[in-house]
Every structure is written in C-alpha cells, then in structure tokens.
Amino acid sequence: MTEAATLLEIKNVAKRFGSVKALRSAELRVRAGEIHALMGANGAGKSTLVKIITGVFPCDAGSIVLAGVARNFRSPAEARRAGIVSVYQDPALVPDLTLSQNMRLARVPLESVTGYLAEMGIGKVDLSAYVRDLPQPILRLIDLARALASEPKVLLLDEITAALPSDMAGKVFEMMRRWRERGHAVIFISHRMAEVSAICDRTTVLRDGATVGVTETASGSQEQIVSLMLGTDIAKAAQSVAQPGVGQSIPKDEPPTLEVRGMGLRNLLHDLSFSLRPGEVLGVAALEGQGQDELFDCLAGVRRFDSGTILVEGKEVHFRHPGDAIKAGLVFVPANRLQALLQQRAIRENVALPMFRSPRSWGPLSMARERERVQSAVTRLQIDTRAEAELRRLSGGNQQKVVLARWISHGFKTLLCFDPTRGIDVGTKRQIYSLIRELAAAGSSILLFTSELPEIRLACDRAIVMFAGRIVNEMPAREADEATLLLSAHGLVPRVAAEA
C-alpha cells in the first residue's frame, strides 16, 4: 500500500461521552477507488467514528487526514464541502418539506439528483411530494441520490441496507460499484457479513473503540473478521457472571408458559414462532435493530402486531394495553430504567406501583400488607436502601433491582428482560443473573435479550438468534458460544425453521 493512494486517513481518534469511552484509538485508511467495510459488534464505536468523520461532533484526540491535508470538521456542512458525505440509517430528510425543498436545503442540484434516481430505477418519484408521505425504503434511496449529487470523494453508508428489500439493496450496491469505478471511496457499515464479503474490497474491524485489524475481503475472510470482532479477553470477564443451573434441559412434556406463533409486524418482524417452558430461561441474541425491540414491545403489550398470536399457558391472549400483559403474567424489565421507574419517588412507591393498577384498588390501601411485601422484596434483592426516599439517587444496578423487586412482589409468569444489565457493574450483574436463575428454578419463565453475547451461555438454557426480523437459529445454551452466535447474528447460517 502506498501512501499516495490513501484518500482518507483516520489516526488514533478517541472520543469519550461523560465517563464512557466510545472510541479509544480508532484507525482507518481508505484508498481512492475502493469500497471499504467498517465492522464491529454492538457498541464497538462504528457510529461514533462515522459522526466524527462527518463533523457531527469533534474528536477528543487524533487526526483526520483527507487527501494529505489534516482536517477537523465542525459541522456536516463543512465535511460536505470537503467532499465527505454520509447517508445515515434513518434518512436525513426533513419530513414537513417536499423532496425538491429538501434538495434545496442541502444545496444540491435537482437535475443530478433526478439523474441518480433514474439510474436507480425510481426516476418517477414526484418531487413535490412531502417527505412524511413517502415510504421509508424509497427515502433511503432518495437520501443516497442526494448524497451522490454532491459528488462526494468519500461516501459513507451507515447501515443503509438494514431495512431495505433485497431489490433495493441491489440498487444500492450497484451505485456503490459505480462510485468505486469513478475513483472515489465508499465506506460501508453493515451487520450483514454476506453483503460485506460480496462487494467490499477491504474491511476494518473495530472492537471496544479501537481498530483491531484490517483484512482484504476475500473468500474465507469471514471467520477472520468474526475472530477479530470477538477478541480474546472476553472469557475472563465472562466467568465472573457464570451461574449454576445454566443449560439445564427442560422436559418437553410440560405445556409452554408462553408461546408465540407466526408473529409479524410490517417489515420488522416476520413469522416469529417460539415457545417458553416453565422454569426455562430463553436467550435472545441479535445485533442492534434486528427486530428484538419490537418483539419485546409486542409481548409487553406496548405495541400491537399485524399477524400471529400469543398464547399464555395454551390460551390465546390479546393485549390492548401493557396492563393486559401484566394481568396475563407477562412483565417487562427494560434496558432503560427511566422507562420503568418514577425517578422522583421512593423505592417503596416504585415497588408497590403495579398493585394499584386497577381502579378497584383506589380505595384505602392496606398499608401493612403493602409494606410487608415491599420489604421482603427489598431484602431479598439486597437493594441498597440508604437512598430510600428518592429513586434517582440509586445506582443503575440498584434501580434495575427495584424493577425486579416490583415484579417479584407483584407476581408474574414470564419475565421479559430486555438487556437488563446494560451499563451495570459486574458485581450487580452477577446478582441479577443469579436472581434470574433463582426465579427460573422456582418455575418462572424468562425471556432474556442481552446485547453482550457471552452472557447468553452464562445465564440461559436455550438461545434463539434474530436477524432481519426473523429467527435464524436456535440452539441449547451449551452450544451458544460467542462465535456461533455472532455468525448467526450476522445472518451467516442457513435459516432454521423455528416452529415449536
């Protein structure tokens, strides 16, 4: 590799948000005339790096060199003038303006946008239509055409194919190849390994905010990329949260506590079917945005789905409100504690809240009974009660324990845990997982999504892997090592029919 061929060079870039180090030392060298993939697991720092390159926010350390000149962009507009343009996962088009107004907003010539749209085969789009009236996939292509119309030297595509139908994704790849032929550079960010190996020339892999390797994307490089994404120091951290009773096989003759049949939601969920038996912890593994959020929302009654059924202990249920789900025994522990707790109120009130769900309980409360139930839950979970009066003064881990205490004192059949240990220290993490195992041992069912793949094997009995809104793999926990999960989560295994 000669230096002269390098168009964009990112050296040692670091960025922290508060106490979180999003990037430690990111390196990226992109040549003119190549399609360069940027890969990494959830939270590896890909999006942060893209935003630094395009001037959304500045970096704390390191440098950006474009065509031999050190640059430091202060806004997307400045990066655009220098020839760096990004297309984001959610289109950067203003909803209340028409398409042609949006083009004027970004100061790109309308004719060349329509030219590129025609090249992609959607030249018939009405430019006087309001953006809010157009379907999302079309908007992505329009966003791409707009980016191309400013003739960028470096084009960044952040998860552009994530929810595109395959024919439209094909059009995007076609445009990427044309851009490469013109001698420009394309940086492609995608979770879809198959796409990356099909069209990218080289791949840079990020892990925990640092560049861990660059590979030529040839056949057989997939395993190499996955092993780079995995790293080696995971096993150590993992052991610290391992739980007894994991990986037990559940007798098949017991009726499932929860069964989902053919659940579908727009183009986000497709024909999801799985079941959960009493005493079982079922892990859900997926990269960001593969439909897991929607699945949990549907199960918790937060959102309605289009097709399919939910069965609780063999009986079909319909949820119009989260209250219905709670009544049916499905309770939700979200990743974001703010969604579950009243931050300004006391622990006691937060734990007791669901007991006052129905208007019937609006009468005088049996304080003695309430206090007793809350106290036993608090003691059981070893919640730090020094800051009892105001919940927001508790640490994240203790707050999450309050959520669990609430459901334990209220009673439930199935616990829906969505990334319950996000941003929680290892000690509390272990407590939460041992509690989950205890609950399972007592006969409850638990559906557990975690963004940290090693935890699947440490806390679950069985695992399903979601990719692009479908269940693509299912396995007992003992087989769910990180490499297998990561490969499946990138859509790299033949789809397994997951009918129960």
Partner 1 sequence: MVRNDPSEKGATGFLPSGGARVASMRWAGRYLPVIGMPLLLAVALLFTTWIHPSFGAFDIQSLALGALPLAFAAAAQTCVVISGGIDLSVGSLIAVANVLAASTMQHADFRQALLLAAGILIAGAISGAINGAIVVLSRIPDVVVTLTTGFIWGGVALLIMEKPGGGAPQQFLDLAAGTTLAPWLPNAVILLIAAVAVVWIPLKLGRAGLLVYAVGSDRVAAFRSGVGVETTRILAYTLSGLFSAMGGLALTMTTAIGAPLAGVYYTLSGLAALVIGGVSLTGGRGGISGPVLAAFVLTLIPTDLIFLNIDPNYGQVIQGTLIVLVVMLGGFVTVLRNRK
Contacting positions for partner 1 (CB under 8 A): 56, 75-77, 80, 86, 88, 90-97, 101-102, 104-107, 130, 132-137, 163, 266-267, 289
Comparing CB distances to partner 1, the nearer of 111 and 133 is 133
CA pair distance 312, 329, nearest whole angstrom:
8
Comparing CB distances to partner 1, the nearer of 158 and 461 is 158
CA pair distance 127, 342, nearest whole angstrom:
46
Residue 393 C-beta: closest distance to partner 1, Å: 24
CA pair distance 470, 464, nearest whole angstrom:
10
Residue 77 C-beta: closest distance to partner 1, Å: 3
Comparing CB distances to partner 1, the nearer of 278 and 291 is 291
CA Rg value for the chain: 25
Residue 440 C-beta: closest distance to partner 1, Å: 30
* Owner of token pair 């445009």: 175
390 DSSP assignment: -
Residue 90 C-beta: closest distance to partner 1, Å: 6
Comparing CB distances to partner 1, the nearer of 135 and 220 is 135
Residue 131 C-beta: closest distance to partner 1, Å: 9
Per-position DSSP letters for 338-369, written without gaps between them: GGT--TTS-HHHHHHGGGG-SGGGGS---HHH
| Phi, psi for residue 227 in degrees, rounded to 5 | -70, -30
Among residues 121, 182, 186, the alpha carbon closest in space to that of 147 is found at 186
Comparing CB distances to partner 1, the nearer of 76 and 231 is 76
Comparing CB distances to partner 1, the nearer of 96 and 181 is 96
Residues 6+ apart with CB under 8 A from 468: 270, 290, 291, 491
Comparing CB distances to partner 1, the nearer of 134 and 234 is 134
Contact 80, 20 (CB under 8 A): no
Distances (CA, A) of 270 to 146, 262, 294, 309, 365: 31, 7, 11, 13, 45
Residue 15 C-beta: closest distance to partner 1, Å: 15
| Phi, psi for residue 264 in degrees, rounded to 5 | -135, 145
Residue 324 C-beta: closest distance to partner 1, Å: 22
500 DSSP assignment: -
Burial class, 212, CB count within 10 angstroms (exposed 0-12 / middle 13-18 / buried 19+): middle
Residue 143 C-beta: closest distance to partner 1, Å: 10
Residue 273 C-beta: closest distance to partner 1, Å: 23
CA pair distance 199, 225, nearest whole angstrom:
15
CA pair distance 263, 500, nearest whole angstrom:
13
Residue 61 C-beta: closest distance to partner 1, Å: 23
For residue 452 the two structure tokens come to 């940290």
Comparing CB distances to partner 1, the nearer of 72 and 136 is 136
Distances (CA, A) of 466 to 118, 260, 284, 383: 35, 14, 7, 34
Residues 6+ apart with CB under 8 A from 111: none
Burial class, 280, CB count within 10 angstroms (exposed 0-12 / middle 13-18 / buried 19+): buried
Contact 79, 57 (CB under 8 A): no
Residue 412 C-beta: closest distance to partner 1, Å: 26
Comparing CB distances to partner 1, the nearer of 172 and 250 is 172
Residue 125 C-beta: closest distance to partner 1, Å: 11
Comparing CB distances to partner 1, the nearer of 154 and 435 is 154
Comparing CB distances to partner 1, the nearer of 24 and 80 is 80
For residue 328 the two structure tokens come to 């049916």
Contact 323, 314 (CB under 8 A): no
CA pair distance 3, 9, nearest whole angstrom:
10
Among residues 333, 331, 344, 269, the alpha carbon closest in space to that of 301 is found at 331
Comparing CB distances to partner 1, the nearer of 56 and 234 is 56
Comparing CB distances to partner 1, the nearer of 40 and 278 is 40
Residue 226 C-beta: closest distance to partner 1, Å: 26
